[in-house]
């Protein structure tokens, strides 16, 4: 399969001309109703620009939309079918979809391979039809696709129960539908932008490798994040991953690491989780960055989405709290990074301008009576110092003389104009959270602890090193 093919094959999942919702209903809260309402709402907002065709043999109309009684009646512009009907009816429906010439199908329905042999038999039958007619399938047993810029939303959790995140440069791909939905809800609250989400469930057809390849050529996406329970075609996964990680970073959260987790994955999506040590080796060989947990995955994604890549592993720390500086220093060592040795010019520049009680060094402590100007001076010196590859700025917004908006603008300005990555740490409560969001909106990733900030920097360093290795 070449790159042109995969882009054309998967395009209808994200940019359909018309979507058929098979199993659409007027019964509030049912899966087919929520999906229909999602598309209808997005069309009314002018986001979804395609046509919507509900399919249900028992209805003639839903909220002003004509309901088609059978797939064979659908208009010819239908290029995406979303299936939300009981599992035993899906194979027959797939035959009709094939006859109609629809080439992209999302099977939301569960009750297939994850339940045993009969489910696996139905999956094989569905796949056989798809292969014979050039149809691509996402699912079954999934929540499908969320693409905020084009209004595709097959997540069957209603908006009043689950918020949708704003658009952004992160792609999120999840084997678990529930995890995907919870993550979208969380991302909306955390202000993290998601450009495209795909939940592929049992992934009988479209898999991790297909999506990597597609998103590698999606200009909106800067970083891909994967929640994986198991990989079915290891060779294909490795070949594509090796190619794509040279273009964009891929972060993977692999569950089923233990015997108990592997057993749970098998009953969840029918995945063979395999030995965790093998996945570790595969991720290292292919340049995929392995996240330890959900929090780590999105800490990394945020850094990749907002930061430039560092040229080395020497970290400069600026802080207005000595304890936080010590914690950051420990984290630098813990995650295999180095504390930068500041140049003589930097030391001289800061000593001439700072009050005697400020600590000039690495960390540089602008201390608790700081104003925003000391941060500006420190950033000016650190960004020009050739011994510093990346900068961690810790801001305790609680200190009395610090003008919050002024220091936010200073950090954002240097993050924009410097070639070095700058991440921020803001520790505190509700008021701190407000300022952290203001800083993130200006393009600087902010973390609630020094350790999480340094760990995110370590991900940037590791990926930059991987790319440099590929250049040799």
Query: Which of residues 439 and 267 earns the better pLDDT score?
Result: 439
Domain boundary among 304, 334, 362: 304
Q: Same domain for 288 and 331? A: no
**Same domain as 322, residue 283:** no
Report the distance separating Cα 106 and Cα 206, nearest Å.
Answer: 10
Strand-pair partners of 251: 225, 289
Token pair of 429, please?
């409560």
Write the CA distances from 403 to 6, 236, 345, 440, 444, integer angstroms: 51, 53, 28, 17, 18
Cis peptide before 363 (omega within 30 of 0): yes
Average pLDDT, integer, range 324-347: 98
Dist. CA 203–CA 174, nearest whole Å = 10
> What pLDDT is attached to residue 257?
66
What confidence tens digit (pLDDT) does each residue in 268-305 have? 555 555 577 888 899 999 999 999 998 999 999 999 99
* Mean pLDDT of all residues in 408-420: 98
- Supply the pLDDT for residue 279: 87
3-class state of residue 20 by DSSP: strand
> Looking at the structure, do residues 335 and 296 belong to the same domain, yes or no?
no
Residues paired with residue 272 on neighbouring β-strands, in sequence order: none
Give me the mean pLDDT over the 381-396 stretch: 98
Q: What is the DSSP string of 95-150?
A: HHHHHHT--EEEE----SGGG-HHHHHHHHHHHHHHHHHT-EEE-SSS-EEEETTT
For 83, the domain range is: 3-304
Query: Residue with structure tokens 């930068």?
Result: 340
Specify whether 46 is located in the same domain as 181. yes
From the list 466, 461, 457, 464, the residue with the least C-alpha distance to 331 is 457
- The mean pLDDT value for 460-468 works out to 96
In terms of domains, do 201 and 107 share one?
A: yes
What is the distance between the alpha carbons of residues 182 and 357, in angstroms, rounded to a whole number?
47
**CATH assignment at residue 282:** 3.40.50.261
DSSP annotation of 309: P
Q: Residues 316, 263: one domain?
A: no
Provide the sign of the torsion angle of the four alpha carbons 252, 253, 257, 263, taken in this order.
negative
H/E run at residue 190: helix 177-190
CA 385, CA 387: separation in Å to the nearest integer? 5
* Token couple for 227: 């929640």
Residue 259 has pLDDT above 70, yes or no: no
- Residue closest to 227 by CA, chosen among 191, 287, 269: 269
Q: Among residues 455, 344, 471, which one has the least CA distance to residue 392?
A: 455
Query: In terms of domains, do 250 and 299 share one?
Result: yes
Contact (Cβ atoms closer than 8 angstroms) between residue 254 and residue 276:
yes
Confidence of residue 4 (pLDDT cuts 50, 70, 90): low
d(CA 367, CA 378): 12
- Please check whether residue 148 is in contact with residue 197, taking contact to mean a CB–CB distance below 8 angstroms: no
Residues 300 and 367 in one domain: no
Name the pairing type of β-strands 144-147 and 152-153.
antiparallel
Quote the number of domains for the chain: 2
The Cα–Cα gap between 328 and 339 comes to: 10
> Residue 471: what pLDDT?
59
| Residue 272 pLDDT | 53
- State the chain's mean pLDDT as an integer: 94
| Distance separating alpha carbons of residues 229 and 173, to the nearest angstrom | 12
Q: Assess whether 188 and 96 both reside in one domain.
A: yes
| Tokens matching residue 96 | 């009709």
Over 80: is that where the pLDDT of 331 sits?
A: yes
Q: With pLDDT > 90 as the criterion, what percentage of the chain qualifies?
A: 88
Question: Encoding tokens for residue 339?
Answer: 């504390």
The last residue of one of the domains, among 288, 304, 320, is 304
Q: What's the pLDDT tens digit per position in 20-41? A: 999 999 999 999 999 999 999 9
What does R_g of the chain's alpha carbons equal in angstroms? 25
- Residue 255, pLDDT score: 82
Could you read off the pLDDT of 87-119 as tens digits, one per residue?
Answer: 999 999 999 999 999 999 999 999 998 888 999
**Residues 332, 387 within the same domain:** yes
State residue 232's pLDDT score.
83
Which of helix, strand or coil describes residue 395? Answer: coil
Give the pairing of strands 422-425 and 250-254: unpaired
- How close are the terminal C-alpha atoms of the chain, in Å? 28
Of the three residues 272, 287, 304, the one that is the final residue of a domain is 304
Residue 1 has what pLDDT? 45
Task: Compute the distance between CA of residue 373 and CA of residue 366 in angstroms, rounded to an integer.
Answer: 10
Residue 213's pLDDT is what? 96
List of residues 6+ apart from 432 with CB closer than 8 A: 397, 398, 426
pLDDT single digits (tens) 189-220: 988 999 999 999 999 999 999 999 999 999 99
Residue 396 to residue 368: CA distance in whole angstroms: 9
Q: Which helix (H) or strand (E) holds 170?
A: strand 170-174
pLDDT higher than 50, residue 351: yes
* 264: confidence class by pLDDT, cuts 50, 70, 90: low
Residues 320 and 300 in one domain: no
pLDDT score of 262 more than 70: no
Q: Is omega for the bond preceding 253 within 30 degrees of 0, making it cis? A: no
Whether residues 54 and 99 fall in one domain:
yes
DSSP H/E element including 447: strand 446-447
Q: Which segment, 82-91, 170-179, 254-263, is predicted with the most confidence on average?
A: 82-91
């Amino acid at each position: 399969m070449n790159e042109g093919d995969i882009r054309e094959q998967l395009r209808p999942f994200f940019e359909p001309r018309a979507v058929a919702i098979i199993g659409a209903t007027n019964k509030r809260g049912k899966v087919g109703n929520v999906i229909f309402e999602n598309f209808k709402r997005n069309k009314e907002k002018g986001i979804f620009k395609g046509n919507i065709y509900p399919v249900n043999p028992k209805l003639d109309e839903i909220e002003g939309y004509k309901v088609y009684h059978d797939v064979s009646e659908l208009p010819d512009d239908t290029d995406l079918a979303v299936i939300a009907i009981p599992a035993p009816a899906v194979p027959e429906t797939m035959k009709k979809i094939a006859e109609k010439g629809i080439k992209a199908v999302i099977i939301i329905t569960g009750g297939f391979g994850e339940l045993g042999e009969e489910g696996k038999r139905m999956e094989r039958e569905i796949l056989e039809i798809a292969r014979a007619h050039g149809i691509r399938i996402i699912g079954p047993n999934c929540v499908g696709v969320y693409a905020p810029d084009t209004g595709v939303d097959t997540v069957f959790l209603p908006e009043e129960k689950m918020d949708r995140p704003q658009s952004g440069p992160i792609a999120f791909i999840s084997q678990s539908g529930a995890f995907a939905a919870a993550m979208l809800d969380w991302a909306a609250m955390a202000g993290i932008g998601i450009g495209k989400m795909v939940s592929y469930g049992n992934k009988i057809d479209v898999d991790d490798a297909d999506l990597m390849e597609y998103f590698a050529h999606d200009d909106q996406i800067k970083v891909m994040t994967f929640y994986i329970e198991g990989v079915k075609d290891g060779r294909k996964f490795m070949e594509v991953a090796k190619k794509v990680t040279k273009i964009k970073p891929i972060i993977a959260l692999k569950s089923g690491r233990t015997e108990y987790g592997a057993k749970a994955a098998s009953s969840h999506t029918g995945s063979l989780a395999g030995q965790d040590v093998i996945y570790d080796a595969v991720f290292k060989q292919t340049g995929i960055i392995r996240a330890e947990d959900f929090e780590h995955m999105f800490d990394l994604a945020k850094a990749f989405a907002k930061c430039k890549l560092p040229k080395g592993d020497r970290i400069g720390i600026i802080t207005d709290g000595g304890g936080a500086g010590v914690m950051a220093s420990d984290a630098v060592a813990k995650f295999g990074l180095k504390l930068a040795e500041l140049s003589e010019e930097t030391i001289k520049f800061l000593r001439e301008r700072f009050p005697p009680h400020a600590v000039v060094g690495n960390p540089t402590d602008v201390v608790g009576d700081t104003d925003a100007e000391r941060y500006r001076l420190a950033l000016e010196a650190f960004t020009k110092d050739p011994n510093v590859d990346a900068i961690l700025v810790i801001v305790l917004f609680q200190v009395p003389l610090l003008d919050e908006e002024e220091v936010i603008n200073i950090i954002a300005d240097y993050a924009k104009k410097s070639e070095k990555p700058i991440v921020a740490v803001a520790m505190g409560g509700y008021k701190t959270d407000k300022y952290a969001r203001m800083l993130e909106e200006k393009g600087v990733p902010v973390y609630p602890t020094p350790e999480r900030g340094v760990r995110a920097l370590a991900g940037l360093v590791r990926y930059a090193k991987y790319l440099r290795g590929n250049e040799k």
